[in-house]
Structure 1
């Protein structure tokens, strides 16, 4: 037997609490494999407060070098989850992640899934992430009255019929993905008794059976609704007096009602382009901007800007400090008579501005005051080495009296011209002596 070196601590000399802490950073499969090391390790994995089970079929069966998961692999996974839960002794479970995604036609039986969720709930789980493909499934009633849950993430692709007696006293974060809401009442019930709720993400969910998607909560701070589907007929109603961050990425819906938004600090409104009636979309879309007039930071897609610039009168943003219009090479816009230059006069306190070069059209002689006196940082993306782009950059350098930094993000096809862009702009006179130019 090898002798122990003085001053060297072997892993077996560590107390159980430290070993369990180390195991908590491993996947549950690897942690369970340590049970064969010695009698000391045999039951340590059963005390780990984090359980992580993943079986994902990421490639089609015809993919070279990849084989589709067979029934024996699926059965083995199911038995492994059952065994771990059977032997797991922790009654204070921190995290439970179950990701079981297979190709169409394959799924886990609903009784196993029901048993796994119930097992996590019985162990006082705090953070539950359930990502699984089903044909038919009903969530346990106990899930909707769990007192220990702090985070709940469901990605199940099923209709979510929320019971009326829902009660999540400690739930702070709710993330729903690929969920189909049963009706208007299910939406209201979901937020009716979550007194600690602070953050909500609704991602790729179906509003097919919902006429009014209504979120009313006195303490909610962050809300994101991303890529919802079947929502053209739906109204979005939000009453959240403490909401500070709001994100909406999706198609224009039938109407927007945002109440009590005095605390809103930042908003990300990215309407997705549709080949529909621009004026009809503009009427609905503009209403949401009029209701978030007091934000300090705003992100909007080029199509959002197009809808906004086509409305009369344009909403004012008297407290806006940061404005970002991200470049989207996929999005094809209609011709804008008034682009970014129409919006700038309505943002008198603007200090930071980021936009793709094609949303800035005509360069008016009547300059907005923010561009002359306030804007300190400007970033122009999709920049090309052509006369129009160079003219726009020169215009900004010539008139930006408070400008401290101008960043040029060259278009992919014009990257090799960065040196020429630099030579032209570095040699051009600047109104602000503090202005630094960066070409990327």
Structure 2
């Protein structure tokens, strides 16, 4: 019962109970989950001491979840020892955040063959060296942040070792200098999130064409992208895709044409999506730099909800081209308003009327609307 009570507390508060009595002194070391974060409340020497004690004195029960944030400096051997011990306790959820790394970090081979690990969250701004034998037989959620992939062969080996993976998140990963091509095929994958745009990644991409990623999404339900299209991503076999979000946070005027073609290839792979959220200025600025792509936009025959971020010029060719390619659209959403200077009824900017307006359209939502724009529409 006492352990049940302690398990409801943050790790630092559970440790504080050790001063209550002899009986409580080591009770916290038998907790099923731990979270240690180096910082003002837990300085480096204290963190090292308390993690060592937790792993040394832990009782016979397995560890359900373990997380730590650590400034490595020259202590990569200590990180390895911790991870090896944690894996031996049949951990199910593992979260590791490493900072200020002065020497290579070689994660133990036992991590990559764990049979109990279900969730792995790894933030490691250094070369991510992996062994040749990789088999996460139970891993369902994987998040990699700031890792630098070493070479094509080992990276491909990594993304082939997830037989039951359902949720994959890649944030500010660096593969622009070495990795040229990688395919991601995990048969159970449901959610894929890609975020790129970190300072180091952007700097590295300036002298590289990036990496070409092929994602085979036989069961993919949700795809999220946020970044600058530093790499090329193509989605294959995405007939099950329900939702996609594409957000461009910034773009370089020197790479507009390349960005336009990468957006086009991505959209082509998302043509079966049912709900799409997309940054409008992708069409207005990026596709304007490659106008030949407007006539080649894919047909979104299954799309029923289209949501735009950014103020939309509803008379622009990119916007109208997109609408004409969504014949079954039912809901159109403008999250950040529409251009207020247009008079569509007068100028006839919506002629010919997109097919969805004549058949399926049920709802149009406009947020952050200002001005006195009036649109006369008769069905």
Smaller-chain TM-score bracket: 0.7 to 0.9
For the 8 Å contact 2:94–2:117, the answer to whether it is kept is yes
Contact 1:175 1:200 in 2 (8 A): yes
The secondary structure found in structure 2 opposite 1:51 is strand
Which residue of 2 is the match for residue 376 of structure 1? 362
Alignment correspondent of 2:85: 119
The 1:73–1:364 alpha-carbon spacing in structure 2 relative to 1, beyond 3 Å, is closer
Structure-2-length-normalised TM-score: 0.85
Task: State which of 160, 163, 166 in structure 2 corresponds to 1:192.
Answer: 160
Residue 324 of structure 2 is aligned to residue 357 of structure 1:
no
Match of 2:6 in 1: 23
Question: Are 2:202 and 1:225 aligned?
Answer: no
Aligned to 1:158, the other structure's residue is in SS state: coil
Give the whole-Å Cα distance in 2 for the aligned partners of 1:316 and 1:303.
Answer: 20
CA deviation profile, 1:38-90 (whole Å, cap 9, x unmatched): 34434432221011101236xxxxxxxxxxx9xx9321221121122221114
Post-superposition Cα deviations, 1:231-284, rounded to whole Å, max 9, x if no partner, equal: 533212112211111122222246443222121111122244221253443223
Kindly indicate whether the alpha-carbon contact (under 8 Å) linking 2:195 and 2:225 is maintained by their aligned counterparts in 1. Answer: yes
Structure 2 matches for 1:33-44, cutoff 5 A?
33-44=16-27
Give CA deviations for 1:159-207 in whole Å, capped at 9, x if unaligned.
Answer: 1122111111000011000101111122211122221111100001111
Q: Match for residue 341 of structure 1?
A: 320
* Structure-2 separation of matches of 1:181 and 1:175: 14
- 1:12 is aligned to none
Structure 2 unaligned spans of 5+: none
Q: How does 1:116-195 map to 2 (within 5 A)?
A: 116-133=82-99, 134-136=101-103, 137-195=105-163
- The residue number in structure 2 matching 1:246 is 223
Residues 295-310 of structure 1: matches in 2 within 5 Å?
Answer: 295-306=273-284, 307-308=286-287, 310=291
Aligned length: 355
Secondary structure (helix, strand or coil) at the match of 1:97 reads strand
Q: 1:43 to 1:253 in 2, by over 3 A?
A: closer
Alignment of 1:389-404 (within 5 A): 390-391=372-373, 394-395=374-375, 398-399=376-377
> Which runs of no fewer than 5 residues in structure 1 stay unpaired?
1-15, 58-68, 402-440
Larger radius of gyration, structure 1 or 2?
1
Q: 1:139: Cα distance to partner? A: 1.0
For residue 293 of structure 1, the aligned residue among 235, 260, 271 is 271
Give the corresponding residue for 2:34. 51
Structure 2 counterpart SS, 1:169 = coil
Cα distance in 1 for partners of 2:233, 2:227 equals 13
Q: Partner of 1:276 in structure 2?
A: 254
- The aligned counterpart of 1:94 is 64
Contact 2:74/2:102 (CA < 8 Å) preserved in 1? Answer: no
Cα distance in 2 for residues equivalent to 1:289 and 1:26? 46
When residues 286 and 182 of structure 1 are mapped into structure 2, their CA distance, relative to the original with a 3 A threshold, is same
Is the contact between residue 146 and residue 167 of structure 1 (CA under 8 Å) also seen in structure 2? yes
The answer on whether the counterparts of 1:220 and 1:240 sit within 8 Å (CA) in structure 2 is: yes
2:287/2:318 contact within 8 Å kept:
no
The residue that corresponds to 1:3 in the other structure is none
What root-mean-square deviation, in Å, do the aligned CA atoms of Structure 1 and Structure 2 show?
2.7
Q: CA 1:359 to 1:190, structure 2 compared with 1: closer, same or farther past 3 Å?
A: farther
- 1:372, 1:400 within 8 Å by CA — same for their partners in 2? no
CA contact (8 A) 2:275 2:305 kept: yes
* Distance (Å, rounded) in 1 between the aligned partners of 2:83 and 2:378: 58
